A and B are shown apart, each in its own frame.
Chain A
């Protein structure tokens, strides 16, 4: 049962690539937006919060269609990216990564925001009174203390990207080797008579990858705690 076909292996490799790129590439934006929502008050803050959560509440196909309209070859952003930087997203793995990143963004921001909010502001203020500029405060005080939430946010985004289907297939369709992730491959196999064993194989791989991601996140958090001499490792 565990003999994977080349197409299935390709889908697994592509899923890993797309999910990793989606999670890592959206991390800086995720941290920035989370920090803004956690630490700053400004007109339109509620609107930003709502916008960030939009992919969470909209049907994934709607998100995919919106991406197609904006970032497709004929879309305003897509045409601009293509003409100015030669970047294409339509029907390419980059588009799949964008779709997955957007679907996972709300989860990432929520996790990181909660973590930043739990950092004692007095520590940040103390660092500031000792002469640290805002970037240094962020890098040396806020970031390390918010680290568990940042890791959790990245892992959530990775796991969501691994399972993303609706937005991906609407935006970049199902192209073996380019946009056929594990989810798309399973969907295709579901519709072919006798595809069951392939489905179970791929589902098993997805479970194993998710478990490994969770274990890795645990390790990353403990490592950070250990380095900073934090005693309570529950």
Chain B
């Protein structure tokens, strides 16, 4: 039957193409796969491009909440380097032997800020213990946070509000989103009157205004650990983690609002 033969030919062609494509990927220098916290988007993109032009090694970065990325690495995702937004998720992987402890470093720090849409006219305020932010939310507004059980930015936000005695009032008004950049987007669009993100995120988004910076003591220190994934066989993985600690990369991160450690 001519139709069956054409179908068979198409399948053979597709299979041959797939084989050839995968073969050629192995022949060239495979790109370095980095899993990184969502808040590193602009800065790490720039750093990765700088690394690629300096060494000729292509780097591709996958951004998501550190919680999701850690889970994926735990299930064997083919990452070479992991940069997390908090220590818990890196510790979890290290306890399971999934990251190379010898390459682990506390790369960056950050501050936590309360933001509002720039168009809302909300004014900067001083965060005091027991302060009620609900008037700023209006009747139905919600405060956009990363999901407070899992997303690092959400965990830090909850810890900060708890230490300031503001959590019990705000908890029913929370809109939990899957990563800190989603919270940033909701506030930038004016859908949420308030949100909590990192200082570096607020710097990247002109449509939000910083109302307050949370006192450094109100939440666990924000540390971005980086490490080589233990299962990675890429020869450049450890070198990339090392390069992120060098002056060129540090200058890029500083420019984007991160604290250097």
Q: Do A and B interact?
A: yes
A167 located at the interface, meaning its Cβ lies under 8 Å from any Cβ of chain B in the complex: no
- Across-interface contacts of A170 in B (CB, < 8 A): 182
Q: Which of A72, A74, A174, A190 contacts B176 (CB 8 A)?
A: A174
- Across-interface contacts of A69 in B (CB, < 8 A): 189
Distance from B149 Cβ to chain A, minimum over Cβ atoms (Å): 5
Q: Which of B71, B151, B191 contacts A190 (CB 8 A)?
A: B71
We find that the number of chain B residues with CB closer than 8 angstroms to chain A is 22
**Do A187 and B178 touch across chains, with their CB atoms under 8 A apart?**
yes
- Across-interface contacts of B71 in A (CB, < 8 A): 190-191
**Complex alpha-carbon distance, A159 and B142, angstroms:** 30
A94 located at the interface, meaning its Cβ lies under 8 Å from any Cβ of chain B in the complex: no
A229 located at the interface, meaning its Cβ lies under 8 Å from any Cβ of chain B in the complex: no
**Do B177 and A188 touch across chains, with their CB atoms under 8 A apart?**
no
**Do B177 and A174 touch across chains, with their CB atoms under 8 A apart?**
yes
A90 located at the interface, meaning its Cβ lies under 8 Å from any Cβ of chain B in the complex: yes
A169 located at the interface, meaning its Cβ lies under 8 Å from any Cβ of chain B in the complex: yes
**Complex alpha-carbon distance, A68 and B186, angstroms:** 9
- Across-interface contacts of A188 in B (CB, < 8 A): 147, 149-150, 176
The 8 A CB mask of A64-94 against B (1 = contact, 0 = none) is 0000110011100000000000001011000
Whether A173 touches B186, Cβ cut-off 8 Å, given contacts A72-B191, A193-B92, is yes
**Do A175 and B178 touch across chains, with their CB atoms under 8 A apart?**
no
| A:177-207 near B, CB below 8 Å | 187-188, 190-193
| B:58-90 near A, CB below 8 Å | 65, 67-68, 71
**Do B175 and A91 touch across chains, with their CB atoms under 8 A apart?**
yes
| B:109-135 near A, CB below 8 Å | none
B257 located at the interface, meaning its Cβ lies under 8 Å from any Cβ of chain A in the complex: no
Question: Residue on B with the closest CB to A72?
Answer: B191
B174 located at the interface, meaning its Cβ lies under 8 Å from any Cβ of chain A in the complex: yes
B144 located at the interface, meaning its Cβ lies under 8 Å from any Cβ of chain A in the complex: yes
**Do A192 and B149 touch across chains, with their CB atoms under 8 A apart?**
yes
**Do B191 and A191 touch across chains, with their CB atoms under 8 A apart?**
no
**Complex alpha-carbon distance, A69 and B147, angstroms:** 22
Whether A173 touches B176, Cβ cut-off 8 Å, given contacts A72-B191, A73-B190, A91-B142, is yes
**Do B147 and A175 touch across chains, with their CB atoms under 8 A apart?**
no
Question: Residue on B with the closest CB to A169?
Answer: B178
- Across-interface contacts of B140 in A (CB, < 8 A): 88, 91
Q: How many Cβ-Cβ contacts under 8 Å join chain A to chain B?
A: 55
Whether A74 touches B191, Cβ cut-off 8 Å, given contacts A173-B186, A191-B65, is yes
**Do B176 and A191 touch across chains, with their CB atoms under 8 A apart?**
no
**Complex alpha-carbon distance, A188 and B146, angstroms:** 11
- Across-interface contacts of B174 in A (CB, < 8 A): 175
Distance from B139 Cβ to chain A, minimum over Cβ atoms (Å): 10
- Across-interface contacts of B189 in A (CB, < 8 A): 68-69, 72, 74
Distance from B92 Cβ to chain A, minimum over Cβ atoms (Å): 6
Identify the interface centre among A73, A176, A187: most chain B CB within 10 Å of its CB.
A73
Q: Which of A175, A187, A193 contacts B175 (CB 8 A)?
A: A175
- Across-interface contacts of A73 in B (CB, < 8 A): 190-191
Distance from A173 Cβ to chain B, minimum over Cβ atoms (Å): 4
Question: Residue on B with the closest CB to A180?
Answer: B176
**Complex alpha-carbon distance, A72 and B175, angstroms:** 14
**Complex alpha-carbon distance, A26 and B174, angstroms:** 29
Question: Residue on B with the closest CB to A187?
Answer: B178
| A:82-108 near B, CB below 8 Å | 88, 90-91
Distance from A192 Cβ to chain B, minimum over Cβ atoms (Å): 5
Distance from A72 Cβ to chain B, minimum over Cβ atoms (Å): 5
- Across-interface contacts of A91 in B (CB, < 8 A): 140, 142, 175, 191
| B:175-208 near A, CB below 8 Å | 175-178, 182, 186, 189-191
Q: Please name 19 pairs of A and B residues whose Cβ atoms are closer than 8 Å in the assembled complex, sorted by A.
A: A68-B191, A69-B189, A72-B191, A88-B140, A91-B191, A169-B178, A170-B182, A173-B142, A173-B144, A173-B182, A174-B175, A175-B175, A188-B147, A188-B149, A188-B176, A191-B65, A191-B67, A191-B71, A192-B67
Residues of A that sit less than 8 Å from B by CB: 68-69, 72-74, 88, 90-91, 169-170, 173-176, 187-188, 190-193
Closest 8 CB pairs of A and B: A191-B67, A191-B150, A173-B175, A174-B176, A74-B190, A72-B191, A173-B177, A192-B149
